[in-house]
Amino acid sequence: MLGIGMMGWPIARRLCVAGYQVSAWNRSPDKAERLRPFGAQVCDTPAQAVAQADLVITLLEDGKVVEDVLFRQGTTEGLRPGALVVDMSSIQPRQARDHAARLAAIGVHHLDAPVSGGTVGAEQATLAIMAGGKPADFERARPVFEHLGRPTHVGPHGSGQLAKLANQMIVGITIGAVAEALLLCEKGGADMAKVRQAITGGFADSRILQVHGQRMVERDFAKRGAISVQLKDMRNAMATAREIGFEAPITALFEQLFAQAADHGLADLDHSALFVELASRNGMA
């Protein structure tokens, strides 16, 4: 396991509990140290962590960090021939395809397998896992995936990241729709909590309305999935759209809204805090 952050920690812990021999590395060693009581070996470098591994999971900040850890910090020198690298980070599809090609050149297999479900899904093993790569490599990783959630093979290298971008487009846009609708009701004099309750079960119901809508009602914007991460994903979606000649005007609008929220000091709050940006625009506390 390379990367023991908000998502890497519960995933690594679950694999330890499931009986896997886990070696862990993190840029900040104290985060990896939390795994020692669960039987993990904590390593000083990525190369040490992967030296005996059949399967390597990376859960890192973005594509540049994944590239740096894999190809500039000695990880590739430590990998065993035939090892399988499963990148569960959220990066651009073209980056995933590039990493897969470079690893294949040294005899190492690759899947891009980002996840959806957040820290709650990681803790409860209910993650949606979207995997791109060769079917045989997906089947090889399936037993590990099934300890973490529901895996689906969605296509060749890069396809997992495309599916993740689709997921994040829908999440970001729907957060905005829920926030704007609830704020409209509050501005007009309705009870926002009661409106959310009233539309539950109708066509407007969704996981976003249930989870993020409740956070908006409670003004609970403690970070689970940060505005900064949502913005990164929207920007990756727009970059990919430009690469393939696809027009995405709705995503473009929400990229701007999340960027403005970040500029206004909300970057490290939960992505449901887009509510705060929209409230501010309307002169609402």
Q: Which residues contact 199 (CB under 8 A, 6 or more apart)?
A: 205, 209
Of 64, 164, 194, 223, catalytic: 164
pLDDT exceeding 90 applies to what percent of the chain?
A: 97
Strand partners, 270: 226
Query: What domains can be seen in the chain, in order of their start residue?
Result: 8-156 (3.40.50.720), 162-281 (1.10.1040.10)
Q: Model's pTM, two decimal places?
A: 0.91
pLDDT at residue 225, as a whole number: 85
Q: Which residues contact 195 (CB under 8 A, 6 or more apart)?
A: 181, 182, 185
Distance of alpha carbon 71 from alpha carbon 67, whole angstroms: 6
Name the helix (H) or strand (E) containing 152. strand 149-155
The verdict on whether 187 is a catalytic residue reads: no
Strand partners, 84: 55, 109
Distance of alpha carbon 240 from alpha carbon 257, whole angstroms: 19
pLDDT digits (tens, 9 = 90+) for 126-165: 999 999 999 999 999 999 999 999 999 999 999 999 999 9
pLDDT digits (tens, 9 = 90+) for 5-16: 999 999 999 999
Q: Which of 57, 59, 31, 29 is nearest to 45 (CA)?
A: 29
